[in-house]
């Protein structure tokens, strides 16, 4: 990982629009949190700014990874799901039947539409410039989302989820073909575009409300339920490392797995520390902490080194102190990567 002092994570602004569109263009189909559509992206950035200002809205706070003055990645935090529209998931449950004639028993999975996860926070939209996939940047932007949550804890409820992109091949989804495509008369690519630009409420409005017996679906569709796209496997490992679990929920769009955790049990929340700034020094050459100050739209964090000074105080490297504008006696927070 580079030691450049120009690495920072901050909320995206209106003037980041072109960079965000470039990131979205590299995401491919199925990544609906980051639409490659100018109007939709403009609206998402505006909504992020409104959420940072304290408005109670649906939508996401978008944090951007800035390197050398260029936006090279992002991560998103949805403070509360179900604010504007009901939030739907499929819950995987099992039904057992027994024949009174010969005693034979059969057990099969069922998908039930549910609002169980309303009022949860959600983390998503983790995207890194493809040229930066190695070097730890994904972990940095992922953990910065939990750092933000920990520094704004009263804004969030008890649980947080992460919907992972489901399995697809060449822009097609077996689950969509078996379920969604039969109700909406549109291709996966068309549905993906609508979800990315206007949200997935149309799926909940028009889709099947009755439980879906999984064994009635095609074998290809059954295999991908609860699966993860190849591009999301690294994100899945980061979530598991952080404390997320598979609790039997999947996305209503592509049946990708939904991971769930208690916010206060997240590793990052437990490890988050607060201190009073003591001094800036040359610091350790190993910059292995996310250091942050500010709240709301002024939230900013960078990669740096920390030295515990005692008495609730800590020192940082000079570059981090300068970037964050830390002064003696000011409170700040830090998180080990």
Return d(Cα 274, Cα 131) in angstroms, integer.
34
Right CATH number for 272-336 from 2.40.40.20, 3.40.50.1980, 2.40.170.20, 3.40.50.2300? 2.40.40.20
* pLDDT recorded at residue 117: 95
pTM for the model stands at: 0.89
The C-alpha atoms of residue 22 and residue 131 are separated, in whole angstroms, by 13
| pLDDT of 194 | 78
Give the pair of three-digit tokens for residue 265.
């049990």
Helix extents (H) in 34-87:
38-52
**At 172, is the secondary structure helix, strand, or coil?**
strand
Cβ contact 37:20 at 8 Å: no
**Which of 302 and 201 is assigned the larger pLDDT?**
302
pLDDT value at 199 more than 80: no
CA–CA separation, 214 vs 225, rounded Å? Answer: 9
Contact 9, 140 (CB under 8 A): yes
Let me know if 289 is a catalytic residue.
Answer: no
Q: Cβ(238)–Cβ(337) under 8 Å?
A: no
Q: Which of the residues 97, 193, 229, 274 is marked catalytic?
A: 229
pLDDT tens per residue across span 107-166: 999 999 999 999 999 999 888 888 887 778 989 999 999 999 999 999 999 999 999 988
Distances (CA, A) of 277 to 142, 150, 309, 322: 25, 19, 9, 12
Q: Which residues contact 25 (CB under 8 A, 6 or more apart)?
A: 36
Specify the 3-state DSSP secondary structure of 126.
strand
**What pLDDT shows up at residue 283?**
62
Sequence ranges of the chain with CATH classification 2.40.40.20: 272-336
Q: Give the model confidence (pLDDT) of 233-279 as tens digits.
A: 888 999 999 999 999 999 988 999 999 999 999 999 999 999 999 99
Mean pLDDT, all residues of the chain: 89
Which range is least confidently modeled, 117-121, 199-203, 209-213, 216-220? 199-203
DSSP category for residue 261: E
Determine the Cα–Cα distance for residues 45 and 12; give it in Å rounded to an integer.
7
Report how far residue 301's alpha carbon sits from residue 144's, in angstroms, rounded to the nearest whole number: 8
């Amino acid at each position: 990982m580079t030691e450049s002092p120009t690495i920072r994570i901050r909320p995206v602004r209106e003037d980041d629009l072109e960079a965000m569109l470039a990131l979205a263009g590299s995401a491919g189909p199925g990544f609906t949190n980051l639409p490659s559509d100018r109007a939709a992206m403009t609206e998402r950035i505006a909504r992020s700014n409104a959420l940072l200002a304290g408005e109670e809205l649906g939508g996401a706070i978008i944090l951007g990874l800035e390197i050398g003055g260029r936006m090279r990645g992002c991560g998103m935090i949805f403070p509360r799901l179900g604010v504007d529209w009901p939030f739907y998931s499929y819950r995987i449950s099992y039904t057992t039947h027994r024949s009174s004639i010969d005693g034979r028993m059969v057990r099969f999975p069922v998908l039930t539409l549910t609002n169980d996860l309303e009022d949860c926070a959600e983390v998503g939209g983790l995207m890194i410039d493809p040229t930066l996939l190695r070097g730890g940047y994904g972990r940095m932007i992922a953990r910065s989302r939990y750092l933000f949550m920990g520094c704004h804890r009263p804004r969030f409820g008890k649980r947080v989820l992460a919907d992972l992109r489901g399995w697809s091949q060449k822009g097609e989804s077996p689950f969509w073909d078996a379920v969604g495509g039969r109700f909406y008369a549109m291709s996966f690519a068309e549905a993906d575009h609508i979800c990315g630009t206007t949200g997935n409420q149309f799926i909940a409005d028009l889709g099947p409300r009755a439980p879906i017996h999984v064994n009635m679906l095609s074998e290809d569709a059954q295999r991908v339920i609860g699966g993860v796209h190849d591009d999301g496997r690294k994100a899945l490992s980061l979530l598991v490392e952080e404390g997320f679990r598979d609790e039997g929920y999947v996305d209503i769009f592509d049946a990708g797995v939904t991971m769930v955790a208690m916010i206060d049990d997240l590793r990052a929340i437990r490890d988050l520390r607060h201190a009073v700034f003591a001094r800036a020094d040359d610091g350790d050459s190993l910059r292995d902490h996310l250091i942050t100050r500010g709240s709301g739209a002024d939230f900013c964090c960078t990669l740096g080194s920390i030295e515990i000074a005692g008495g609730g105080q800590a020192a940082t490297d000079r570059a981090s102190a300068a970037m964050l504008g830390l002064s003696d006696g000011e409170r700040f927070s830090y998180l080990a990567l």
